[in-house]
A and B are shown apart, each in its own frame.
Chain A
Amino acid sequence: MTRTHRSAALLAALILLLAACGGADADDGAATGADSPDTEAAEAGGEPIVIGAIFDLSGATADVGTPFADGAKAYFEWVNSTGGIEGRPVELLNADYAYDVANAEQLYSQYVSDGAVAFSGWGTGDTEALRTRVTSDEVPFVSASYSEELTDPAETPYNFVVALSYSDQMRVALRHISDTAGGHAEVAVFHHDSPFGESPLEDGETYVQEQGLDIGYRAYAMPAEATDYIGQLTQASQQGAQYAIIQNVSSPAATLARNIAEQGLDMTVVCLNWCGDELFIELAGDAAEGALGVLPWTPPGQADDLGPAGEYLEEQGTSPEDAGLHFTQGWYQVSVIGEGIRKVITDGQEVTGPNIKTALEEMDPYDTPVSEPIDFTADDHAGMDAAQVWEVQDGQWVSVSDAITP
C-alpha cells in the first residue's frame, strides 16, 4: 500500500509541476481568454480590429444564449473569411460567463485592456452593472439586453439597444391585447426573477394608465429553481387573468405554458422576444398552439431571404430552422457593430470607441432580412421602434399583424 501511495504522490507532484510550468509559459504575455479567428483570414491583411464579447453558454439563460453565441461568432468568422471589414480582420475575444455578473465584469476589464474597441454583451444584470465603466472607457456596448434604461444617450452614451426594448415589447403586447380583447382584459405578467425579468414591469403598468387601456395588470415572479408554476397560476386565475405575458427565456416559459394547458386554464400566452422562438414551441408541444409573441426578430423559417447568414448556414449544411431564431438574431445583432466599424473606416477615421459610437449614430438605417430597419440617432439609442405580433399556428410562428409602434 505504501508503494501505491508513494507513486500516487509522485504522480500528483508531477501533475502539479506541469500545471506550474503551464502557468509559467502563459506568463509570457499571451493574450489570454482570447478566441483567435480562423486562419483562413488570409485575405484580410490589415491591422486587426479587436472586439470583445461575452456569452452565456452554461448559465441560467444558456438555452437561448448558445444559439445566439453561435450566430455572433459565425458572423465574425464569415467577415474574416471574406476579407475582413474593409480589408482588416476582426479578432474576437470571447468567453462563456455563465450569466454571472462578476465574471462579466472581469472579462470586460480583461478584453478592454487587451484592446477591444467595441463590446457585445449579453445579460441585463451585467450590462446595467457595467454601464458606468463602459461610459468612462468609451467602448460602444451592444448587448442582448433590451432594457429601456440603456436607450437614453444622456444616461448611457455608449450603450446601444439593437432590438425593440423590453418595455416597448410590453407596450406592443398590451396594445395588441387591448385592441383584440373586445372589452376588459386581465393580464398576468410572469417574469424571470432578475433585473432582466423586472425590466418592463413598471413601464407596462404606466402605459396602461397613460393610455387609459381597460386592462388589469399584475406581475408574478418565476423563481429560477421552481419546477412548476402552479402556485403562481392559481393566484393568476383568481385574478381572472385571460392573458399571460411572459418575460423569460424559452425553457421556463414552456413549462408555464404546459402548466396552463394541464390545469385547463383559459389563458393566452404572450411571449416577449426571449421566449418567442422555436425552442419554446418544441418544449411546450401542443401547449404552445395559439400562443402569441412579440418578436422583433423574424423566425428564420419565415424570412424570405436570410442574406449572408443564410449562405453561411447553407455552406455548413445546416438549415435555418435548425440553427434557430437566436442564431440569426446573434448574427445580425453583431453585424450592426460590423457596419458601424465599416463606416468608420470608409469615412477615413481611426477605429476607436468614440468614432464607432458616432458612426452608429450617423449611419443610415440598417436593413436586415430578419427585422425592422435599425437606426440610431444621437438622442436615441433604441434601434427599432416597432415589431409585429406573431402567433403559433401548427407548430410555427406566423405573423398576425403589421408592425405595431407602441
Chain B
Amino acid sequence: MTTFLQLTITGLSNGAILALAALGFALIYKATGVINFAQGEFLLIGAYAIFAAVASYGLHWSLAVLVAVVLAVILGLLIERSVLRPMIGESAVAVIMVTIGLAAVLRAIVQILFGTTPRRMPSFIPTGSVSVGDVTLPLERLFAIGLALIVMVAFSLFFTRSRYGIAMRAVADDQQAALTVGISVRRVFALAWALAAVSAVVGGLLVANITGVSAGIAEFGLVVFPVVILGGLDSILGTIVGGFVIGLLVQYTAGYISGGLSQVIPFIALVVILMVRPYGLFGEVRIERV
C-alpha cells in the first residue's frame, strides 16, 4: 500500500509538471493551430533563465522568477512575430519543421551560453518531507503539485472570465468568425505564445528542481505529445487530466514492471488512444476517417 501511495504522489507531481508543459503546447495549438515542437526548449530556457538570475546575478528567487517570466514573454512574442507569422498558411509539415528548427537554435544558444555541465538549481522550495503513516511525502513534490494546480486554475479562470481569454477561445474555435466580431487575431496569437512561454518557465523551474539544470530538461518536451493527445487538444481540462494520467502511468510502470518500459509506455498509450478514441478524453470529435 505504501509503495502504491509513494508512486502515486510522485506520479501526480510529475504529472502536474507535465500538465504545465503540455498546457503551453495546447494553448498554442488551440489558438494558432501551430504544433510547437520547441516546447521542451521553452522549459529549458525558463529553467536556465532562473538559474542564471539566481546563481550568476544573485537575485532573490521571486525576482528571478519574475525576470525569467518577462524574458520568456519577450521571447515568445519575438518568435511569434518573426518566425511564425510568415508561416501562416503554409503546410503542416513546414510549420512543424520550423518549430523543430527553432528548437535546435534555442538549444544551441543555451549550450553556448551555459555549456553542457549539469548544474544544481539553487533550492528555494522547502526541502524535507512529511510523513503520513508509512509514506514519506517529499515537500518538494507536494509543492510542485500545489504550484502547478495554482497555475492551471489561474489559466482556467483566465479563459472563462477574462475578455482576452474568451477572445482566445473564440479564435481557437473559428478564426474568421472571431475576426468578423472584431477580435484582433494577431494579438491573440501573440498572447498565446506569451502565455505558453510563461507556463514553460514555471514548468522548467519545477523540472529543474527534480533533475538539475541541464539539457535533459528539453527531453521532457517529447512526453508532452502523449499528454495532449490523451486529454484532447481542444480542452484545457483534458490536458491537465492527461498530464496526471501519464505521470501516474509512468510511475506505476517504473515501480511495478521496469524502468525501461516506463519511458515507452506514454507512447504505447498514445497509440492505443489514437486507435480507440483519437480525439482524446475530452476533445471534440473532429478527426477525419478514410
The answer on direct contact between A and B (beta carbons under 8 Å) is: yes
Q: Is residue B216 contacting chain A, with contact meaning CB distance below 8 A?
A: yes
Chain B: interface residue total (CB-CB under 8 A): 40
CB distance from A277 to the nearest CB of B (A): 12
| B1-37 interface code vs A (CB 8 A; 1 in, 0 out) | 0010011001000100000000000000000000000
CB neighbours (8 Å) of B207 from chain A are 227
Given A227-B211, A231-B251, A231-B259, the answer on whether A251 and B138 have CB atoms closer than 8 Å is no
- Contact-residue size bin, chain A (C-beta under 8 Å from the other chain): 20 to 34
A residues in contact with B118, CB < 8 Å = 63, 250-251, 279, 283
Q: Are B260 and A193 in contact (CB under 8 A)?
A: yes
For residues 202 through 238 of chain B, which have their beta carbon under 8 Å from a beta carbon of chain A?
207, 210-212, 214, 216, 219-220
The interface-forming segment of A23-31, A218-226, A302-310 is A218-226
Q: Is the CB of A229 closer than 8 A to any CB of chain B? A: yes
Structural contact, A225 and B219, CB atoms closer than 8 A: yes
User: Which secondary structure dominates where chain B touches chain A?
Assistant: helix
- Known contacts A234-B255, A283-B120; decide if A227 and B216 are in contact (CB<8 Å): yes
Which listed residue, B10, B127, B220, touches A230 by the CB 8 Å rule?
Answer: B10
For chain A, residues 34 to 80, give those with C-beta under 8 angstroms from any C-beta of chain B: 57-58, 62-63, 66
Task: Establish whether residues B263 and A226, one from each chain, have CB atoms under 8 Å apart when the complex forms.
Answer: yes
B6/A230 in contact, CB under 8 A: yes
Contact at A228–B136, with CB atoms within 8 Å? Answer: no
Q: Would you give the shortest CB distance from A66 to chain B, in whole angstroms?
A: 6
B260 and A221 form a contact (CB under 8 A): yes
Nearest first, the 6 A-B pairs at minimum CB distance are A231-B254, A262-B138, A264-B136, A231-B255, A234-B255, A230-B10
Decide: A263 and B260 in contact? CB cutoff 8 A: no
Does A254 touch B at the CB level, under 8 Å? yes
| Whole-angstrom distance between the Cβ of A281 and the nearest chain B Cβ | 10
In the complex, what's the smallest C-beta–C-beta distance from B230 to chain A, in angstroms?
19
CB distance from B42 to the nearest CB of A (A): 17
B216: A residues at CB distance < 8 A: 225, 227, 251
Q: Which residues of B contact A (CB under 8 A)?
A: 3, 6-7, 10, 14, 111, 115-120, 123, 127, 129, 131, 136, 138, 140-141, 207, 210-212, 214, 216, 219-220, 250-256, 258-260, 262-263
The reply to whether A63 and B136 contact each other, CB–CB distance below 8 Å, is no
Q: Is the C-beta of A232 less than 8 angstroms from some C-beta in chain B?
A: yes
Query: Known interface pairs A62-B116, A282-B120. Does A230 touch B255 (Cβ–Cβ under 8 Å)?
Result: yes
User: B127, B210, B251, B259 — which one has the most chain A CB atoms within 10 A of its CB?
Assistant: B259
Given known contacts A63-B118, A255-B212, A234 and B258 CB-to-CB distance under 8 angstroms? no
Interface pair A262/B140, CB less than 8 Å apart: yes
B136 touches A263 (CB 8 A): yes
Contact status B212-A279, CB under 8 Å:
no
Pairwise interchain contact A231-B262, C-beta atoms closer than 8 A: yes
Main secondary structure of the interface of A (DSSP, over half): helix
Collect the chain A residues with CB atoms within 8 Å of residue B116's CB: 57-58, 62-63, 66
Asked if A223 and B129 sit within 8 Å, CB to CB, the answer is no
| A263 to B259 Cα, complex, angstroms | 18
Contacts of B210 in A (CB 8 A): 227-228, 255
Residues of A within 8 A of B10 (CB): 228, 230
- CB neighbours (8 Å) of B3 from chain A are 234, 237-238
> In the complex, which residue of chain A has the Cβ closest to the Cβ of B131?
A264
What is the distance, in angstroms, from B178's C-beta to the closest C-beta of chain A? 27
Roughly how many angstroms separate A63 CA and B123 CA in the complex, as a whole number? 21
Interface residues of A in 266-313 (CB under 8 A from B): 279, 282-283, 285
CB distance from A260 to the nearest CB of B (A): 11
Please give, as numbers and ranges, the residues of chain B lying within 8 Å of A238 by CB-CB distance.
3
Most B Cβ at <10 Å: residue of A221, A227, A279 = A227
Q: Identify B254's interface contact among A62, A232, A283, CB under 8 A.
A: A232
Chain A, 61-107, CB within 8 A of any chain B CB: 62-63, 66
A361: min CB distance to chain B, Å: 37
- Please encode chain A, from 108 to 128, with 1 for each CB lying within 8 Å of some chain B CB and 0 for all others: 000000000000000000000
- Measured between alpha carbons, how far is A283 from B138 in the docked complex, in Å? 18
Known: A66-B117, A234-B255, A263-B136. A226 touches B7 (CB 8 A): no
B-side contacts of A221, CB under 8 Å: 258-260
A-B contact list, 7 entries, CB within 8 Å: A63-B214, A225-B263, A229-B259, A251-B216, A262-B138, A282-B120, A285-B123
Residues in chain A near residue B211, CB distance under 8 A: 227-228, 255
Q: A50–B186 Cα gap in the complex (Å)?
A: 60
Chain B nearest CB from A237 CB (Å) reads: 8
- A230 to B13 alpha-carbon distance, docked (Å): 12
- State whether the Cβ of A32 lies closer than 8 Å to any Cβ in chain B: no
Contact status B212-A254, CB under 8 Å:
yes
Closest Cβ–Cβ distance, residue A378 to chain B (whole Å): 40
Chain B residues with CB below 8 A from A237, complex form: 3
- Set of chain B residues within 8 Å of A58, measured between Cβ atoms: 111, 116
Report A-chain residues with C-beta under 8 Å of the C-beta of B115. 66
Once the chains are docked, how many angstroms separate the CA of A251 from the CA of B117? 9
Add 11 more A-B contacts to A223-B263, A230-B255 (CB < 8 A). Answer: A62-B117, A63-B118, A223-B259, A223-B262, A225-B216, A226-B263, A227-B14, A231-B254, A231-B256, A234-B254, A255-B211
CB nearest to A67 among chain B residues: B117
Q: B127: which A residues are within 8 A, CB to CB?
A: 262
A209 within 8 Å of B by Cβ? no
Bits for A231-268, please: 1 = Cβ < 8 Å to B, else 0: 11011011000000000001100110000001110000
